[in-house]
Structure 1
C-alpha cells in the first residue's frame, strides 16, 4: 500500500443556491496525514465526500494526477458510525466484503482478512457479529474493511466521534501506528483540536460557512508518538484554538446567537 497525492484546484461545492465551500486550493503529499478542522457546518465532511467522489464539484480534484469523477478503489472511506457494518455478517465476512464483490477466491479472502484483522487487533473476533462487539471494536473492524482493499487514500469522517474518551485515545494511537505501517495518505475530519495535534502532519483550519474556505494551514513538525503536555503541543493548541474560536464566533453572529464586538 502506497500513499497517493491529492490536488484540489479552486474547488467549490453547492447544493442548489447554498454554497458550502468555495475556492479550495490544497496540495496533499503522498503518505501525508492531514486533518480538516473547523466550526460545525463549515463543509469539512462535504469536502471529504467530494474527494471520495460522492459529490460533484466546480474546479478540479485529482488523486495521483487523475481527475476524480466518482468513487474508486483508490479511495476508502471510514465513516463516523460503525452502523455501516452489515449486522447479518460476521466481522470477518464484513472485512472480506469488498474482496468478495471483486470475485477474489474464498481462500485468498480469508488469508487477507486474517492479516488485516490482526493489524487492528481483532484476530480473536473474526467470527463474532457486530452486535457482539463494543463501539471501539466495531470501528476497528470498519478500518480493516477499508484497508483490506489497499486504497492509496483513506478518508475518515470523525471516526472516533461517538466513542468514550478512553476508547478514543486508544484508537488514536492505533491509527497512528497503522498509518505509519501502511504508508497510505489519510484525510481526517475532526472537531477535536487535541486529536488533530496527536495525529496530523498538517492541520487545515476552515472558515465558517457559507462559502467556507481555508483559513490557515498549520504544520505539526513533532515526532510520533506525541506528548499533548509538551510546550510545543500546548503552543500549537492555543494557536489553533484561537483560529477556530474566531470562526465559531463569526458563525454564531451570522445566526444571531452572538453579539458583535464593539471596538474600544
Structure 2
C-alpha cells in the first residue's frame, strides 16, 4: 500500500517512539518570513510532537534553513508564531540546540573536551559537572578517547560528532540540524546517519533535520515535510514513515515512499526551472531531483 501525504501535520498515534520525555513539542503556526521585499517562506504550519524526528526536505533555495534559523531564534518571522511547549521563541535559547553543516563552528583553539563543555562553563557549571557532561556526551558519540585532542586532529565525521556532543551537553529539548552530514564523504555520511539515529533514540530530544537527501530522510525521520520551491515556499506535503527501525532501504515500503518523495520534489524542481525560463526536462533526471 502506497504511503500518502497526510492532510494534517500531527503525527499519527504510535508513530513516534516512546523515549524519556526530554523532548519538547514544537508548534509552527502560520509563519511568514520576509527579508525586505523578498518573501522567503509563507504560511508555514507544523505541529511537531515531543521526541519526534522531523525531516525537512525540498529543492535548493526553498527556505528550509531559513525556517530552521527562525526556530533557533536567529530570524524573526514577519507574521505567525513559533512556540516550544507553549513558550514563544523570542531568540536563541539553551533549550534550542543548533548543529550546523560545517564543523568550522567548533573552536579550533580548544580541545574536544573544552568545546563540549563551553556552554555549561558559560552557565557557571562546576568543574565536576563539566567533567561529567563531557564524559557522558563524548561517550554517547563515541569520542571519549579524543577528549584531549584538538578539532584539527580529527576527521570530518569526528568533528561533526563533537559538534553534536557540544549541542547535547547543553541538554536542549529541541535539536535543530542544518544538513549536518552534507559535506561528508558517502561512507562517513552513512556511519553518521546510523549514529544519529542511535543518539536521538538515547537522548530523547525532539529533532528537526534539514536535508536534501531523500534516503537520509527516510532512514532517520518519523515524518518528512516536503517544501515547495521558493520564493514564498510553503509546505507541499507531509509523509509519515511507518517503518521499523533500524530501517532497510530495500524494504518495498521504503522504495515506494522514495518514489513518492522524488515525484513531489521533482515537480517542484521543474516548476522552479520553468519560473526561471529554463528547460525543465533535465529535472526529470533522478540525480537532479536530489540536489546535493
TM (norm. structure 1) is: 0.97
Report Cα offsets for 1:36-82 as digits up to 9, x if no partner: 00000000000000000000101111010011111101100000000
Is 1:78 the counterpart of 2:99? The answer is yes
Aligned residue number for residue 14 of structure 1: 34
Q: Distance in 2 between matches of 1:68 and 1:108?
A: 28
Is 1:120 the counterpart of 2:147? The answer is no
Query: What root-mean-square deviation, in Å, do the aligned CA atoms of Structure 1 and Structure 2 show?
Result: 0.9
Counterpart secondary structure, 1:169? helix
Q: Distance in 1 between matches of 2:212 and 2:183?
A: 12
Aligned residue number for residue 232 of structure 1: 253
Instruction: Give how far 1:259 is off.
Output: 4.9
Instruction: Give how far 1:256 is off.
Output: 1.7
Report Cα offsets for 1:115-140 as digits up to 9, x if no partner: 11000000110000000000000000
Question: Any gaps of 5 or more consecutive residues in structure 2?
Answer: 1-20, 282-292
Q: Distance in 1 between matches of 2:82 and 2:279?
A: 36
Q: Distance in 2 between matches of 1:27 and 1:147?
A: 23
Aligned residue number for residue 63 of structure 2: 43
Aligned residue number for residue 162 of structure 2: 141
In structure 2, relative to structure 1, the CA distance for the partners of 1:169 and 1:259 (3 Å cut) is: closer
Report Cα offsets for 1:173-231 as digits up to 9, x if no partner: 11100111111100000000000000000000000011100000000011110000110
Q: Distance in 2 between matches of 1:79 and 1:63?
A: 20
Map 1:52-131; keep pairs closer than 5 Å: 52-57=72-77, 58-131=79-152
In structure 2, which of residues 9, 13, 25 is the aligned counterpart of residue 5 of structure 1?
A: 25
In structure 2, relative to structure 1, the CA distance for the partners of 1:153 and 1:259 (3 Å cut) is: closer
Question: Any gaps of 5 or more consecutive residues in structure 1?
Answer: none
Q: Distance in 1 between matches of 2:222 and 2:212?
A: 16
Counterpart secondary structure, 1:10? strand
Is 1:196 the counterpart of 2:214? The answer is no
Counterpart secondary structure, 2:257? helix
Instruction: Give how far 1:148 is off.
Output: 0.6
Give yes or no for contact 2:112–2:150 (8 Å, CA) kept in 1: yes
Runs of 4+ more than 3 Å apart: none
TM (norm. structure 2) is: 0.88
